[in-house]
């Protein structure tokens, strides 16, 4: 136990686990603009780490887009964001056809060297982190999810409207 404690202390207090502050990162979008996760503090963020060659990612992309549109088209929209981070080595060439095929409108960023994946200690794709307004990870989802189910949309509305702790999503 002592060794684990020392290793965690070396890495700092930022762990990619529910209840911990989300690790900050800088990423580049298709158009070339860059941003940091911390730029979105004050919003609820769905951080989705994925790849175009991943069949479950392909299956979940349409429901993530529908969730994005359902929330963005409401008065809660300004307080919500989806960040999709592609781990494809040929990011731009691979992502543009994928984005077009699924008519994705949420921001897509590139992580061809795996920095974001390493910081978030992902073990595969898709992996998704729901980050609250204070920058705290509320959920870590390994594998695909049907994001636009009515109970999920309502859960996100509750998270956006609430500043404090929220019940776990089902």
Residue found by looking up tokens 């800088």 in the block: 26
Q: Hey, where are the domains in the chain?
A: 13-161
CATH class held by domain 13-161: alpha beta
Q: Rounded to two decimals, what is the model's pTM?
A: 0.86
Q: What is the chain's mean pLDDT, rounded?
A: 87
Sheet bearing 26-29, strands edge to edge: 34-36, 26-29, 108-110, 80-86, 44-50, 127-131, 137-142
The token pair that represents 63 in the structure block: 């429901």
**Residue range 102-160, pLDDT digits in tens:** 999 999 999 888 899 999 999 999 999 999 999 999 999 999 999 999 999 999 999 99
**Residue range 17-51, pLDDT digits in tens:** 899 999 999 999 888 899 999 999 999 999 999 99
Q: Which residues is 49 bridged to in the sheet?
A: 85, 127
**Residue range 125-139, pLDDT digits in tens:** 999 999 999 999 999
> Which letter, b or e, does each residue of 83-113 get, where b requires 16 or more Cβ atoms within 10 Å of its Cβ?
bbbbbbeebeebbeebbeeeebebbbbbbee
Provide the pLDDT for residue 4: 36
Q: Which residues is 26 bridged to in the sheet?
A: 36
pLDDT higher than threshold 80 for residue 54: yes
Contact 81, 44 (CB under 8 A): yes
Instruction: At 160, give phi and psi (nearest 5°).
Output: -65, -40
Give the distance from CA 82 to its chain's centroid.
Answer: 6
Q: From the CB of residue 14, how many other CB atoms can be counted at a distance below 10 Å?
A: 14
């Amino acid at each position: 136990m002592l060794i684990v404690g020392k290793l965690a202390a070396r890495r700092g207090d930022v762990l990619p686990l529910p209840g911990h502050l989300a690790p900050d990162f800088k990423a580049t979008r298709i158009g070339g603009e860059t941003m940091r996760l911390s730029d979105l503090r004050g919003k609820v963020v769905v951080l989705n780490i994925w790849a175009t060659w991943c069949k479950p990612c392909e299956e979940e992309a349409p429901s993530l887009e529908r969730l994005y549109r359902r929330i963005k088209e409401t008065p809660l929209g300004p307080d919500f964001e989806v960040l999709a981070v592609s781990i494809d080595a040929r990011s731009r060439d691979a992502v543009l056809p994928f984005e077009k095929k699924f008519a994705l409108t949420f921001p897509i960023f590139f992580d061809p060297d795996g920095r974001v994946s390493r910081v978030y200690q992902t073990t595969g794709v898709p992996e998704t982190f729901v980050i609250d307004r204070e920058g705290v990870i509320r959920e870590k989802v390994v594998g695909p999810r049907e994001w636009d189910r009515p109970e999920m949309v309502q859960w996100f509305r509750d998270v956006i409207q609430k500043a404090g702790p929220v019940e776990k999503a089902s």
